[in-house]
Amino acid sequence: MSATTADHARTKAKTRKNSLHKQRLWALWGSYAALSVFVVIFLVPPFYTLMTSLKSSAEISAQTGSPWMVNHPSLDNFWYLITYPNFQTYYINSVLVTIVTVAVSMVISVLAAFSLARMGFWGSQTLSTGVFLTYLVPPSLLFIPLFQIVGMLGLINNLWCLILLYPTLAVPFCTWIMIGYFSSIPKELDEAALIDGASYMQILTKIFIPVAMPGIIAATIFAFTVSWGAFLYPLAYLYTSNQMVLTVGIISDLIRGDVFQWGKIMAACLLASLPPIVIYAFLMDYYVAGLTAGATKG
């Protein structure tokens, strides 16, 4: 009797284990399928860009052969761009605008977030919400009134107008991210530092910034993306080659009339994508969650 019961229990356990195994297998297949679709959607355009950038104009316009394959690969398009003075100017301008934007945005965001999250002054809560609300205003709504302001400042067709404007787009969201990170740091850490003799500035630089590094990196990536990829503002405010950044420079220089130099445009896109790829890959290594592990009882 007892042996039969034991056998029954064993069979039941085995069936449950098998069904669990099957469920897990299906879940795996499902996630692989979904990821494959995702990968195809996101990787096909860069692949096409790469293929086209390696082709000559003649090969691009030829009606024969598959557009996905390259028959006579060449780096001519890349070489042309690298040695093309206008492209070099766009690149340098983009790098300059982005470095200054990221630096200015991060300094403002970190200081603002620290004071809003930690210093608990009168109205800090309302101000925090206000900061986030400003992020909800679409930049495309602002560029006309901003044009007036930029015009008044005499910065139309001047690279510095972007350095002035981009932080207004990046700071609210970066501050919001940083408020979240700073708020997650246990209050006892700043209290311990206060008792240890630290000033608020020392608490920020010696405790909060190192501990909230993942948040700072996330905010930095956001500010970088805002600045590097912006199209509307440079299109509206800049019109000479020596002031242009990559996003508008590529289309205004490499589309001449109704002639699209596809090979060069694609090569320029790839070259322009290089800094984000390198920076993302580099920063992601430091983007480690759980840096606060061990600070307090976990």
- C-beta closer to another protein: residue 212 or 226: 212
In the bound state with another protein, the residue whose beta carbon lies nearer, of 127 and 295, is: 295
State the burial class of residue 159 (Cβ atoms within 10 Å of its Cβ: 0-12, 13-18, 19+): buried
Closest approach of Cβ 121 to another protein, in Å? 14
- Nearer of residues 95 and 198 to another protein, judged by Cβ: 198
**Single-letter amino acid, residue 228:** W
Which of 50, 70, 103, 295 touches another protein (CB under 8 A)? Answer: 295
| CA dist., res. 27 & res. 78, Å (int) | 44
Residue 295 DSSP class: S
Contact status, residue 190 vs residue 204, Cβ threshold 8 Å? no
- Residue 120: both structure tokens together: 């608990």
CB of 206 to another protein, least distance (A): 8
Query: Which of positions 210-239 make contact with another protein (CB under 8 A)?
Result: 210-211
Query: What is the smallest separation between the CB atom of 201 and another protein, expressed in angstroms?
Result: 12
Q: Considering beta carbons, is residue 142 or 192 the nearer one to another protein? A: 192
Q: How far is the CB of 12 from another protein (least distance, A)?
A: 38
- Interacting stretch for another protein, rule CB under 8 A, among 6-14, 37-45, 183-191, 254-262? 183-191
Options 32-40, 89-97, 185-193, 268-276: segment touching another protein (CB under 8 A): 185-193
Nearer to another protein, 80 or 287 (CB): 287
| Contact by Cβ (8 Å): 245, 234 | yes
The least distance separating another protein from the CB of residue 188, rounded to whole angstroms, comes to 4
Site size toward another protein (CB under 8 A) is 24
Interior/surface letters 205-234, b for 16+ CB within 10 angstroms, e for the rest:
eebbbebbbbbbbbbbbbbbbbbbebeebb
CA dist 260 and 244 (Å) reads 19
| Complex with another protein: residue 36 or 199, whichever CB lies closer | 199
**211 versus 221: smaller Cβ distance to another protein:** 211
- Helix 159-184 with 124-135: angle, nearest 10 deg: 130
Site string for another protein, 275-294 (x = CB under 8 A): ----------------xxxx
DSSP conformation letters of 167-214: HHHHHHHHHHHHHHHHHHS-HHHHHHHHHHT--HHHIIIIIIHHHTHH
Min separation Cβ 20 and another protein, Å: 34
Taking CB under 8 A as the rule, which mask of x and - marks residues 186-215 in contact with another protein?
Answer: x-xx-xxxxxxxxx--x---xx--xx----
- DSSP per residue, 19-83: HHHHHHHHHHHHHHHHHHHHHHHHHHHHHHHHHHHTS-HHHHH-SSS-TTS-SS---HHHHHHHH
Nearer to another protein, 142 or 189 (CB): 189
Q: Does 178 bind another protein (CB under 8 A)?
A: no
Distance CA 10, CA 7 (A): 5
* Residues of this chain that bind another protein (CB under 8 A): 186, 188-189, 191-199, 202, 206-207, 210-211, 291-297
